[in-house]
């Protein structure tokens, strides 16, 4: 069968889709790029917050409208896992619903499907990480995610992920290293480590946090040039982890730490382990030990009970800390979470006003950070060639899709995945511009 996959949400979802596509190809099916020509259209959904749920639902209906007559429409991912019964009743356009633990069953489910008989499959998660030997990579996989764990043991008051993805399950180091070597052999130059909580890696398998040890082993793999850390929890950023980041040249001077807030009262209500003082110490330590580090974080505005004083503390923290990369979400009231039942829910307009105030401040911070790079020559990973003949790439401080881009010119014909040197000649709010220089 010809199968088209549409993926929404985070890097972890895209990793799941690559695994599912690999499983389907191994079973003899073909992954194609056009939903109109597919025998099966699969939508891998996100169900984390209201905006993501809305986007997923809209995309499902779009796929139902554009698929060819007689094609099977299947929905999987977090939204399907979370709302299996509701979606089944409200979306008769969908033939199959599958959860996040059913990718291995996809070939059998599709091959045994009878048109007109709608079904739903939602398996429970296993107690250990469910390995799959199959993964479909991009044609030129110069950058790739490397999932090191699944599930989450954190019980943040606003989050439904543990209910969707289950308890934290680390992969063995042997499995991770084997996949990393396979990626390198296929041309991968940048590994992006992902999990719901990367810094919790190993506690369930090895009785301690062993991310630092894993990183040292990954750095020994030939062909890998950059290793990037995403989804790190502040209270688990140990001295050992900081030392490894400092010593190993392959580890990007970049870290993604979703802090969510700085007010102790809000952090406590969120059921976060971090404290205001601890957060400030960790940031100071990272910047002291790794002077060129760029820290990415996210905040939530309008959490239940967030006062004007709490917000002003958060805004002041953002302004004074000067995060190089920052995103802000308004609090999403998710059913089934403790926060949804809390009193003092904040008005939607107030949430948005607070979000916008922080992002206005961040605009100036980001521009100032970028302007400081004018005149410098930076290593850039080439990603694509623009229509006007110029190129788009990323620095070591930028994760794909979510961070800055470098727009530059070159007299050479460059290929995505190449590294080159670019002299920065101009800076904008969230991008840089320059020209290639040959050493």
Binding site for [4Fe-4S] cluster: what residues are annotated?
Answer: 10, 46, 78, 152, 156, 159
Three-class SS state of 135: coil
Check: CB of residue 168 under 8 Å from CB of residue 126: no
Question: Sheet harboring 119-121: ordered strands across?
Answer: 30-31, 2-7, 40-45, 72-77, 96-98, 119-121
Angle at which helices 211-219 and 239-247 cross, to 10°: 10
Other C-beta atoms lying within 10 Å of the C-beta of residue 320: 8
Classify burial at 17, counting beta carbons within 10 Å of its beta carbon; exposed 0-12, middle 13-18, buried 19 or more. buried
Contact present, 91 and 58 (Cβ < 8 Å): no
Cβ atoms 153, 167 nearer than 8 A: yes
CA dist list (Å): 213 to 49, 365, 381 = 34, 34, 27
d(C-alpha 234, C-alpha 171), whole Å? 22
Sequential DSSP letters for 292-315: T-EEEEEEEES-TT--HHHHHHHH
Establish how many alpha carbons lie within 13 A of residue 72's alpha carbon, considering only the half-sphere containing its beta carbon: 24
Tell the burial category of 150 from Cβ atoms under 10 Å away from its Cβ (0-12, 13-18, 19+).
buried
Residues with Cβ within 8 Å of 241's Cβ and at least 6 positions away in sequence, in order, are 199, 211, 212, 215
Provide the token pair at 194.
């992902």
Do the bridges between strand 251-256 and strand 226-229 make them parallel or antiparallel, or are there none, so unpaired? parallel
Measure the CA–CA gap between 144 and 131, rounded to whole angstroms: 17
CB 331 within 8 A of CB 340: no
Phi, psi of 226 (to 5 degrees): -125, 140
The H or E element spanning position 228 is strand 226-229
Pairing of strands 72-77, 96-98: parallel
Which residues make up each annotated binding site?
10, 46, 78, 152, 156, 159
Q: Which two tokens stand for residue 266?
A: 């809000």
């Amino acid at each position: 069968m010809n199968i088209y996959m549409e993926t929404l949400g985070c890097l972890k979802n895209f990793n799941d889709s690559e695994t599912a596509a690999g499983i389907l190809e191994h079973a003899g099916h073909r992954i194609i790029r056009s939903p109109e020509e597919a025998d099966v259209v699969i939508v891998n959904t996100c169900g984390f917050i209201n905006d993501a749920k809305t986007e997923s639902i809209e995309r499902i209906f779009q796929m139902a409208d554009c698929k060819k007559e007689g094609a099977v429409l299947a929905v999987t991912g977090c939204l399907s896992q979370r709302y299996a019964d509701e979606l089944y009743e409200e979306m008769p356009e969908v033939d199959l619903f599958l959860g996040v633990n059913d990718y291995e069953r996809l070939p059998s489910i599709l091959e045994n499907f009878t048109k007109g008989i709608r079904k739903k499959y939602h398996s429970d998660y296993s107690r250990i990480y469910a390995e799959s030997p199959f993964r479909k990579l991009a044609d030129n996989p110069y950058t790739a995610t490397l999932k090191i764990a699944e599930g989450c043991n954190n019980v943040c008051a606003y989050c439904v992920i543990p209910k969707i993805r289950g308890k934290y399950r680390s992969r063995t180091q042997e499995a991770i290293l084997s996949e990393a070597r396979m990626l390198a052999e296929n041309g991968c130059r940048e590994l992006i480590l992902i999990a719901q909580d990367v810094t919790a890696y190993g506690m369930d398998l090895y009785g301690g946090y062993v991310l630092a040890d894993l990183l040292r082993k990954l750095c020994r793999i030939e062909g890998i040039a950059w290793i990037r850390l995403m989804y790190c929890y502040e209270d688990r950023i140990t001295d050992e982890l900081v030392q490894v980041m400092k010593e190993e040249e392959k580890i990007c001077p970049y870290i993604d730490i979703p802090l969510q807030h700085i007010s102790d009262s809000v952090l406590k209500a969120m059921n976060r382990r971090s404290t205001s003082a601890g957060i400030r110490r960790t940031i100071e330590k990272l910047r002291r030990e790794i002077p060129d580090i760029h820290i990415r974080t996210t905040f939530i505005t309008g959490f239940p009970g967030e006062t004007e004083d709490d917000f002003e503390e958060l805004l002041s923290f953002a302004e004074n800390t000067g995060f190089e990369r920052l995103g802000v979400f308004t609090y999403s009231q998710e059913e089934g979470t403790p926060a949804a039942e809390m009193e003092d829910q904040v008005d939607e307009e107030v949430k948005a006003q607070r979000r916008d105030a922080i992002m206005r401040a961040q605009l100036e911070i980001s521009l100032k950070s970028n302007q400081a790079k004018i005149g410098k020559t930076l290593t850039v990973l080439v990603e694509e060639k623009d229509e006007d003949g110029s190129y788009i790439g990323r620095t070591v401080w930028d994760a794909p899709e979510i961070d800055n881009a470098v727009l530059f010119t070159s007299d050479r014909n460059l290929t995505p995945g190449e590294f080159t040197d670019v002299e920065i000649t101009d800076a904008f709010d969230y991008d840089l511009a320059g020209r290639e220089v040959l050493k």
